[in-house]
Amino acid sequence: MKKRIFSGMQPTNRLQLGNYLGALKNWVKLQDEPDTECIYCVVDLHANTTGYTPDTLKQSTREVAAAYIAAGLDPKKSIIFAQSSVPAHAQLGWMLGCITPLGWLNRMTQFKDKAGKDKEKASAGLYTYPVLMAADVLLYHGTHVPVGDDQKQHVELMRDIAISFNQHIAKRDFFPLPEPLIMGEATRVMSLRDGTAKMSKSAESDMSRINLTDDADAIANKIKKAKTDAGVVPANEAEFEGRPEARNLITIYAALADMSKQQVMNEFGGQQFSAFKNALSDLTVAKMGPITSRMRELMGDVAELDRILADSSDRANAIAEPILKQTKDILGFWSPR
């Protein structure tokens, strides 16, 4: 059976290295696998779960699309579109929300993390985010979802929703059960300032992350100031114990260089962090620099980006509409002949 890959990123801010290593880099690899169709979305409806940003949303959406293409996604091979340009996402999201028990949503750790201390003030959209994410994938009968480790729980929920729909309503295997694809060495890149917190594009401190738009000086400065400990570079995984920052920098190096963590430690174990940080900085600039330059070029031709997004939106709608229509029929909704 043909694999249908679906994944997305929120245009909430500039993409960061964790988005690239945990997801985007793997998306590019999947694009060239045989019998695989790839659909990559800029999930702008999700971006609104933490508040509307009308002045910047359109431009951020283009910037995320530019990052996808600059990282190696080819719009001729993959569908690259904005979620809100396919109305069926929101429609299916509503329908699936009506069969999702609150108890399932109460277990979602991302809501707890993002809602912060005052949960009463968090939006209903943030709470039901995982239902919309389920709709995103199920709408295309997606079979595989390449994500970072933080999104695994949401993919498990999407499977539960699909099972519930298939068993209790469709009474047949209507939605395939999507599998999470958690690939590579850097499934969870951590903050440069705190090795126990995920690197995040909307974290307060810009020094906690490498943005895909950072230039060589900014990258070098952030890596130089990245938190480490008083020890030397670990030589094996046992030496990661109690040293989350050391583990994180080794992980980033390994993922960027396509090496295992042990290979990195074979090269740098026992050295001072200052020497290792210089090497990591050079590697990051070498790998990310061309992506950043290409992104700038693409952002210089907004008309072309809009053309790519519009063309992909037509292709996405052509897949989504018949599946939404079938879902509505299963649910008993009236529709015009």
Residues assigned a catalytic role: 114, 198, 201
The CB-of-73 to ligand AQP minimum distance in angstroms stands at 14
Out of 88, 134, 189, 264, the only residue in the binding site for ligand AQP (CB under 6 A) is 189
Binding map of ligand AQP across residues 102-141, x = CB under 6 A, - = no contact: ----------------------------------------
Which residue's CB is nearer to ligand AQP, number 165 or number 255? 255
For 307-312, which contacts have Cβ atoms below 8 Å and span 24 or more sequence positions? Answer: 308/65, 308/69, 308/75, 308/80, 309/61, 309/62, 309/65, 309/80, 309/81, 309/82, 309/85, 310/85, 311/75, 312/75, 312/79, 312/80, 312/81
- Looking at 128, 151, 228, 313, which residue binds ligand AQP (CB under 6 A)? 151
Residue with tokens 């800029």: 42
CB of 132 to ligand AQP, least distance (A): 11
Output the residue with the shortest Cβ distance to ligand AQP.
22
- Binding track, positions 4-23, relative to ligand AQP; x by CB under 6 A: -----xx-x---x-xx--xx
By beta-carbon proximity to ligand AQP, the closer residue of 12 and 292 is: 12
Taking CB under 6 A as the rule, which mask of x and - marks residues 195-234 in contact with ligand AQP? ---xxxxx--------------------------------
Q: How far is the CB of 271 from ligand AQP (least distance, A)?
A: 25
Q: Which is nearer to ligand AQP, 18 or 178 (CB)?
A: 18
Q: Which residues bind ligand AQP (CB under 6 A)?
A: 9-10, 12, 16, 18-19, 22-23, 147-148, 150-151, 187-189, 198-202
